[in-house]
Amino acid sequence: MSSTATLDPREVGLTSTTFGERLKGDPAYQAFLLLRIAFTVAPILFGLDKFFNIMVDWESYLAPWINDIIPGSASTAMHLVGVIEIIAGIAVALKPRYGAYVVAAWLAGIVIDLLTYSGYYDIALRDFGLMLGALTLARLASKYDPPGFRISL
């Protein structure tokens, strides 16, 4: 017998395990699921709220220089933002390997908007943290969500 160490196939994701087994015994998979849920639900809810302004008046977060370069009103811009956020949340739900990068890029844009608009630095810092969370989800998805466009739920 050889004295070389062998990898446990379960550690590198080469064996088929049930959802329950993975959820129970793999902390990284648990983190992947928590982040996937968060970055599915939050963008969809925030996107929907862009049409209703129940949580906050979203137009107040739009930097004046952005409002000046976009066609239409700030309200129209927020509706477009809402649609993009809903699509990003759905992308994370269906294919986190790719959707998480969309959410991270979107959050980077929000951070830039907020940093250029005095008075919202605390929210910019929060959204920077969310961006890091989305990037963490993308990295975990490289292990738990197969490449390509096969949907994994």
pLDDT of residue 7: 44
pLDDT of residue 149: 75
- What distance, in Å, lies between the first and last C-alpha atoms of the chain? 41
pLDDT of residue 118: 84
Tokens 């993009």 correspond to: 84
Per the model's pLDDT, the better-predicted residue between 137 and 117 turns out to be 137
Q: Tokens representing 128?
A: 């920077």
Domain ranges of the chain: 20-144
For 73-99, the three-class secondary structure string (H helix, E strand, C coil) is CHHHHHHHHHHHHHHHHHHHHHCHHHH
8 A C-beta contact, residue 44 and residue 85: yes
Please give the model's pTM, rounded to 2 decimal places: 0.81
Using only C-alpha atoms, the chain has a radius of gyration, in whole angstroms, of 19
Q: Please state, in angstroms and rounded to a whole number, the distance separating the CA atoms of residues 76 and 51.
A: 9
pLDDT band of residue 12 (cuts 50, 70, 90) is: very low
- The DSSP symbol for 54 reads S
Helix or strand run (H / E) with residue 121: helix 121-144
Residues 89-112 have a mean pLDDT of 97
pLDDT of residue 21: 73
Three-state secondary structure call for residue 153? coil
